[in-house]
Amino acid sequence: MFRSIKRVSALNSKLALSKVSAPSFIKPAMFAIPSMRSYSAAGGLTHDEIRERIFSVLNDFDKVKHENISETADFSKDLGLDSLDTVEVVMAIEEEFNVEIPDEDADSISTVAHAIKFISNSEGAN
């Protein structure tokens, strides 16, 4: 009598420790919730959104005066940024829009308008 109880309890403990498999048609991805917002999901960024976000990036730099920021502003002439500051601005724009700007393209970005044009032509920008 006690042997059967021991076997049943051993069987129950094995069942408790075993994995319960889900049906094959249920996949974990079906229930995944996106953890971050996708800005480009609604058809891409508008010119105004890109401009405002680049202005925001430029406002974060201490050397840049808010009143000098415009769409036609040149990074060195109008905003007073040196070459190292310009590289930092381009890197900040890369982070803001989650894109990678190749070095040869980064060297050609010298104005706010160039940056806006590059981001608007980038497929992966968000």
Q: Please state, in angstroms and rounded to a whole number, the distance separating the CA atoms of residues 50 and 38.
A: 15
- Paired tokens of 115: 């940056």
User: Using only C-alpha atoms, what is the Rg of the chain?
Assistant: 28
Look at the block and give the residue holding tokens 């406002």: 59
The amino acid occupying position 14 is K
* Catalytic positions: 82
